[in-house]
Structure 1
Amino acid sequence: MIVAWLLAAIGLPLSIYCEFIESDTWLFYFRIYPHMILFPLLFLGAAFVSIYQALILVVNKQEIARTTAVILCLSTWLLCIELTSDNMMLFEFNQTASTTREVPVEIIEEIKKIPNIIIDTNKIINKKKIIINKTDIEESFKKYIKHNSKLEEKEKKGYYEFMKLSLSYQTWKSTKQWSSFNRWLYASSFFIIVTGSLINISLIFLHSRQQLRNQSQYIYHLAVSSLLFIAWMPLRIYYNISTNNLLFGSDLVIGNMDIFAWIIYPIYLISIILKIHKIRQDWIAIVMVSIIGIFLPLIGIFKTKWIDVTFGLHSTPVTWIVGLFIGWFIFYVFNQRAKHQSHIS
């Protein structure tokens, strides 16, 4: 579990920081992809500690081993889908990544409408082919963030077509030496987050009171890990609503793969609340779990600007540290409550 946390929470952020420190691009990546960089860095450690605390309370761990084997297969399947999907992330490319792709004339005509303040289209269009390189993608994105309010709809549409083409896996899959080492760290991080989340939900349902050393402590530890995994949702929603909107013109709250999270996390929440009520009838804990668990996704949907200034495009490392303290504060509160309830049981 320590190795998994180091790969997901430290490996990817540290690699991005080291590769792009000279241009401060690392800071830009942290801000536009908070669900994949900041979430594991700030919240995954406390979540994994809570899962570990729950695991050591299980008497017979054979069932966990069998369930984990199934979860690993499911996580591998989801990872394969993720790595071959479109809407790739900028840090997945190395600095010299370059390719060409032949596209229909209609797409060429749309891309020609991009104004020069975003990108020089004469440089990227060669007859029926589009010349794509990492530098142009990144620079045009940053310029679009700065100038998008001045653009006409047809100019925006051309930009979106260029970005969809540039960040499509189909564009790059037959190109050699385009990916950065960060892509494989990202794959590891995705796999670990998904696996941890699925293990967490399996622990909620698998074990009866007879299989546990202390059922009260067990459910409180899982309450913490569940809430910390739910903290991923507002960051992902921000990515969907803000980053994807700036890149592709999309305003979808729920992305293609997000349906799994929207199914799993409400189950987390309802199950934890019911189990706390059944075991302890601890109304303080029930209210805390309900408020945090319900409001986190709602903040992502209706108060995107809050995420923007705390973890998004207009955030600073100071606000990230505040988020780190909040995550560990939730861990501390429920940890103390678990100890208190175990003493009075």
Structure 2
Amino acid sequence: MALPRGCLPLVAVFLATICRAEAAVRELKVGYYAETCPGAEDIVRETIARARAREARSVASVMRLQFHDCFVNGCDGSVLMDDTPTMLGEKEALSNINSLRSFEVIDEAKEALEEHCPGVVSCADIVVVAARDAVVLTGGPNWEVRLGREDSLTASQEDSDNIMPSPRANASALIRLFANLNLTVTDLVALSGSHSIGEARCFSIVFRLYNQSGSGRPDPNMDATYRNALDTLCPRGGDEEVTGGMDATPVIFDNQYFKDLVGLRGFLNSDQTLFSDNARTRRVVKQFSEDQDAFFRAFVKGMIKMGELQNPVKGEIRHNCRVANGSPTEVVASHAVDL
């Protein structure tokens, strides 16, 4: 399925804007907060660990926030912003509504950091650190994150609708989207491996089970035993908010996701298509299914590259990740705390 109309031109405009405004892009570096907020990354990791202890699924939800933030006008914390009377935020965008979650975990980390070093650590950086920690805490690779991002002053539901792919997206559409963000086919497959942890809703797959491509038939690229299990989990006319693991080990970050794709047990169409529909992505899926270390190395490289996507527009360090500083909502919240 093609991406929404206007997606690629919009991405191209975004990248061109970055080129024109190169001087406005901040230099990111490892240890950015070493002097201004020592222990900042430790505070975030402790927060993520507590969230995982409360609910295993939460860390996957936190990691997903980086993708949905960085792909839409760069890693700027815009995905965290609530709607206002004059702005429709990204939380209600087509790919996010009733799907993105665990915003309160980022809030918890931000509150702890504001107590430790007020006004220093951006929400955008918290998202990137938290995504790394989600991987590490579930058994995946560790890496040093480059920090120093600013938070955007606004968000755009329209941009998110135009850019973020549907669960129905095919490999060719995904390759084009990633290429327009300077991410390779290997980056695409490796970053899709983020689905090694977490769950997705029946809403995202009922078309595969009962009406693939409008044919009234199921997706043929599905193992029969797995199809029967999904029929039970997501029956026709059933509760589409029910969730299922995106691979056979949904709380462990490993290469099982790729083994499942090779076995035609991918949960989302946008996952299974990487093996079933495109020779370029199939080759990488097979490699990662056989070599977990290769997957881990490529995943780290892809996460770092994705984290380099920036919004060139001058931002700020938000006090509250949900609202811009000085907005009526932020002022009301501040007065409530004072009382």
Query: TM-score, normalization: structure 2?
Result: 0.30
Query: Per residue, is there more helix in 1 or in 2?
Result: 1
Larger CA Rg, structure 1 vs 2? 1
